Amino acid sequence: MCRDGSAAYAQAVRDALPSAVQVADRWHLWHGLCDAVGKEVAAHSACWATATGLREGKLAETTLQRWQQIHALLNAGVGLLDCSRRLGLAMNTVKRYARAATPERIQRVPKYRACMVDPYREHLRARRQQEPGVGATALLTEIRAMGYNGSHNLLVRYLNQGRHLDDHPHLSPRRAARLLLTRPENLTERQRERLELLTAACSEMKTLASVVRSFAVLLAPRKDNPARLAEWTAATREADLPHVHSFARGIDQDTDAVTAAITLEHHNGRTEGVNTKTKLLKRQMYGRAGFALLRHRILLG
């Protein structure tokens, strides 16, 4: 019987089918670890968030790439009109990039109008310096108590533009966690550089990266995985990662099902796929479909 990590489900299976072998679903195991990793990253944001070089810089990266493409074509003797057609850019855009001797000449310093968030800039600056990873929702609650009556989106845009302070977090906790959870071979060169900066800035992040990769290997079923799981659990207990400790305790409480998950091929993939398809059909009909219509669409699909 394949299931997720719910204790209620585990007890129900034991009551209904005492002799059944319970198998924890591997996707849910990985999802549980992802949640723990996200909490750990946020908890240690004070030591990694302001590390040099972790700025996302998507606009600057795009500008540099576009400038290089245009000037490479121009140096090869390609005309402006042909550049515009090949790159799918407006002629005026190509001309502007062609006139710039360096990509830095393209980037403009943004000019902002007065904003409803401005009176709370000092508070936002102090909070981000004290706790770089604090989220916009928490900050919104704080400044609303101080009299702010603007929207959440306005505050988020204000923070993302860096208008509150100069040393704002260059990398969000969510994106930092994504770097740790992505397969190393699937990371781009820029992402690998960010990951190196992240782990160099915080020793706990380096340990967390090792913990994640060791557990990811266990999700490929093998007969020797139970022994490796015991080693992983022991190593995790020695690390200063309380949220991962909580995840490991959950594994200890469901050892038999987790052991079956990492040694047997069974999983909930097909069932979860049907659930996802059903939810998609319901959303396509704005949640108003009756059972008969929903059943009809599922059978036809």
The predicted-structure confidence for 174-198, as pLDDT tens digits, reads as follows 889 999 999 999 998 888 988 998 8
By the 8 A CB rule, do 29 and 5 touch? yes
- Which regions of the chain are under pLDDT 50? 52, 109, 166-169
Angstrom distance (rounded) from CA 162 to CA 156: 10
DSSP β-ladder status, 23-24 and 2-3: parallel
Q: What would the two tokens of residue 53 be?
A: 């070089």
By the 8 A CB rule, do 121 and 80 touch? no
Asked whether the whole model's pTM tops 0.85, one would answer no
Q: What is the widest separation between alpha-carbon atoms in the chain?
A: 77
What is the per-residue pLDDT for 109?
46
By the 8 A CB rule, do 48 and 201 touch? yes
What is the per-residue pLDDT for 99?
85
- Residue-range domain boundaries for the chain: 58-105, 118-160
What is the per-residue pLDDT for 168?
46
Q: Which of 191, 186, 239 is nearest to 215 (CA)?
A: 239
Contacts of 60 (CB under 8 A, 6+ apart): 107
Phi-psi map region of 287: left, alpha, beta (phi>0 left; psi -120 to 50 alpha)? left
What is the per-residue pLDDT for 114?
73
Compute CA distances 280 → 25, 240, 268, 277, 284, whole Å.
Answer: 22, 41, 18, 5, 6
Q: What would the two tokens of residue 40 be?
A: 């750990």
Angstrom distance (rounded) from CA 268 to CA 27: 8
Residue 24: beta bridge partners?
3
What is the per-residue pLDDT for 167?
43
The predicted-structure confidence for 7-60, as pLDDT tens digits, reads as follows 898 899 999 999 999 999 999 999 999 999 999 998 887 677 666 455 555 666
What is the per-residue pLDDT for 270?
85
Contacts of 97 (CB under 8 A, 6+ apart): 66, 67, 70, 71, 106
